[in-house]
Structure 1
Amino acid sequence: MVSLPNLPPDPQDDLGRYLGLDAESAAALAREQGWRTVRSLPPGTVVTMEYVAGRLNFEVDGGRVRRCWKG
């Protein structure tokens, strides 16, 4: 079995705080909280199941964050 690399932990953050924010403000706040990568996606975008430590994903509709998840 292959051992997993020692990944840095994700920031301790309340992901609910991003819901309803405009995409630019949400991305700036996420970076302030320590997220290394912030990705904004339109609704229905097909994404892979790979987990990337330190990445925060936003589903953005009408310029506002509607959904938020790690990885």
Structure 2
Amino acid sequence: MAPNPAPAQEPQDSPQGYVGLDAGDAERLARQRGWPTVRALPPGAIITMEYRAGRLNFEVRDGVVARAWKG
């Protein structure tokens, strides 16, 4: 049986620091800070609720990050 891969590392970074930033700038900054997966979502998007280490989610309204959370 193959071993489970190690979970992605999460930067010691607060998602709240991205709220209010331009979505493109926020994504670039998150990647520079070490987030391997950055996901931009429209308000009210239907998404799965599984937690994925190393993923940063943005809810984007009018090109600006309105909400940010891990997983």
TM bracket, shorter-chain basis: 0.7 to 0.9
Q: Distance in 2 between matches of 1:24 and 1:13?
A: 18
Paired residue type of 1:44: G
Quote the offset at 1:40 in angstroms. Answer: 0.3
The two structures have a TM-score, normalised by structure 2, of 0.87
CA-based RMSD of the aligned residues comes to 1.3
Please, which runs of 5 or more residues in structure 2 have no aligned partner?
none
Q: Distance in 2 between matches of 1:31 and 1:64?
A: 17
Q: Distance in 1 between matches of 2:63 and 2:11?
A: 24
Paired residue type of 1:18: Y
Identity of aligned residues (%): 59
